[in-house]
Amino acid sequence: MHIAAIGGSDAGISAALRAREVDPGAEVTVVVADAYPNFSICGIPYYVSGEVPHWQKLAHRTIGDLEAAGMALRLDTTARRIDVQGRKLLVTGPGGAEDLIPYDQLVIGTGAVPVRPPIDGLRVLGPGDGVHLLHSMGDTFALMGTLAEVALASAVIVGAGYIGLEMADALTTRGLAVTQIEQLPEVLPTVDPQLGALVHTELAGRGVEVLTGTAVKSVAKAAPGAPGRLRVDAVTSAGEPVTRHADLVLVVVGVRPDTSLAASAGAALGAKGAIAVDRWMRTGLPDIYAAGDCVVTFHRLLKETYLPLGTTAHKQGRVAGENACGGSRLFAGSLGTQVVKVFDQAAARTGLRDHEAAAAGYDPVTIGAEADDHKAYYPGSHRIRMRFTGDRATGRLLGVQLFGHKNAEIAKRVDIAAAAIFHGMTVDEVSDLDLSYTPPLGSPWDAVQIGAQAWTRHARQP
């Protein structure tokens, strides 16, 4: 059995590792487009900030670890074409020479690529000018090269999603004056505006200039004598022009699935143009699986969607690797559980927001609530702001959003909600969970349970 996996990030490596666990005799080849297999792309902002001291620390496993696990790595190698009938993969190696890799089973984990918004100048200017996208280790090294330049004082970040917020934190920590520009009405648009506004306040309190409802139209080299080498022109939703100057421009407005290889082989595409797969991660092409940020995602409440997340990619890759070795494991599904740290605060969500639940056919009720992370009489307590969404008719828990101090266990508390939604619990049943308590760490009713009780009281009102 020879299994080939395309992609050296979460899905491809997870598939290769699982295949070797299931069948230690299997030959596994992983085709990696760069020289950095199994690196934590999610950790890049913390390397940029200096909190992670060296880029090599971002490696989940070293090349030696991966090879010791029994996989053959083809680094700096690009997959060009899949011969479906002949079960061969055409690749181009580091020297440009073409090679054919035969396979019995193939796992496609090509991931996603950064979205390039329609900003004038973005395709003309690049890292050498101080204009960057951020998605790979190569992008990271280019950015760090710019940051090493003398007298770099300011930055404009286009986009205020997860990576944009983390990079605002990182660049501010490095001492740059940061302006963050977001086209939508509030930062972190994956949570409700009530919580996004709290993130906005945290950014502003740390000196970040935040411009929401503002679309960047062009990036150009600044005129001599300007307070920065780049000029960014934008327009507000009211039509007012906005101009900022900076030494660095970082564009992080999301990703799209990288599907050209699979599509050219005949794979069907689904939501957002991602590769269509079933819950066994099968593409419909014989002996070809796909996983990670390049594929559609089975969502436990929405069914099919596109939801690129590292946690999901790891799980899907593991399923694909097992099934490539003859298994029959299903991908259990995602809820879009996410968390982000912004300076000293954290925001998290799982499941559906009110408008998402309504669009999916539910009859949602959403309420806000607050609670302390532990007993207030013990020093150091922090207030947690919450948004609970449940179905009016059935009481089923559909979604939870949290905001609070980074020491308030925001991530673990949203995980409680994720587990409850995963198993179809009602909001009221969350109060029945047997959760831990000691005054320095919690309360007899955990903050999540207090939020659930607030929802239940509201839902029972006539």
pTM for the full predicted model? 0.94
CA–CA gap between residue 12 and residue 5 (Å, rounded): 6
Residues 6 or more apart whose CB falls under 8 angstroms from that of 271 comprise 296, 304, 305, 306
What is the topology classification, in CATH, of domain 2-113+255-324? FAD/NAD(P)-binding domain (3.50.50)
pLDDT in tens, 262-286: 999 999 999 999 999 999 999 999 9
Decide if 2-113+255-324 and 127-251 have a common fold. yes
Cα separation of 400 and 121, whole Å? 40
Q: Which helix or strand (DSSP H or E) is residue 357 part of?
A: helix 354-359
Q: What is the pLDDT of residues 376-410, one digit of tens each?
A: 999 999 999 999 999 999 999 999 999 999 999 99
Amino acid found at 42:
C
Distance separating the N- and C-terminal Cα atoms of the chain = 63
Bridge partners (DSSP) listed for residue 24: none
Asked if the model's pLDDT at residue 136 lies above 90, the reply is yes
Cβ–Cβ under 8 Å, residues 18 and 121: no
Domain ranges for the chain, please list them. 2-113+255-324, 127-251, 344-459
- pLDDT at 461 > cutoff 80: no
Both tokens assigned to 254: 């999301």
Tell me which long-range contacts 447-451 makes (C-beta under 8 A, separation of at least 24). 447/371, 447/372, 447/373, 447/384, 447/386, 447/408, 447/413, 448/386, 448/400, 448/413, 448/416, 448/417, 450/369, 450/371, 451/369, 451/371, 451/386, 451/388, 451/400
Which pLDDT belongs to residue 462?
66
127-251: CATH number: 3.50.50.60
Cβ–Cβ < 8 Å for 367, 453? no
What does the pLDDT average to over 60-86?
96
CA 173/CA 77 separation, integer angstroms = 36
For residue range 439-454, what is the model confidence (pLDDT) as tens digits?
999 999 999 999 999 9
Report the pLDDT value the prediction gives residue 460, as an integer from 0 to 100.
76
pLDDT, tens digit (0-9, with 9 covering 90-100), for 193-241: 999 999 999 999 999 999 999 999 999 999 998 899 999 999 999 999 9
Q: What percent of the chain has pLDDT over 70?
A: 100
Place of tokens 């062009």: 218
Q: Which pLDDT value is given to residue 94? A: 93
Going through 56-163 in order, the beta strands assigned E by DSSP cover: 71-74, 78-83, 88-92, 98-102, 105-108, 112-114, 131-133, 154-158
Question: Secondary structure of the chain: what % helix, strand, coil (to 5)?
Answer: 30, 30, 40
CA dihedral of residues 66, 67, 72, 75 (deg, nearest 10): 60
DSSP 210-250: EE-SEEEEEEEEPPTTSSSSEEEEEEETTS-EEEEEESEEE
User: What pLDDT score was predicted for residue 459?
Assistant: 86
Paired with 282 in beta bridges are: 289
Q: How far is the C-alpha of 387 from the C-alpha of 199, rounded, in Å?
A: 15
Q: Where does residue 104 rank: exposed (0-12), middle (13-18), buried (19+ CB within 10 A)?
A: middle
Sign (positive or negative) of CA dihedral 311, 384, 183, 272: positive
Q: How far is CA 363 from the centre of its chain?
A: 28
Number of neighbouring beta carbons within 10 Å of residue 286? 11
With cut-offs at 50, 70 and 90, classify the pLDDT of residue 303.
very high
- The CATH architecture assigned to 344-459 reads 3-Layer(bba) Sandwich (3.50)
The rounded mean pLDDT for the chain is 96
- CA-CA distance, 85 to 288, in Å (whole number)? 11
Q: Stretch 20-47: mean pLDDT, rounded?
A: 95
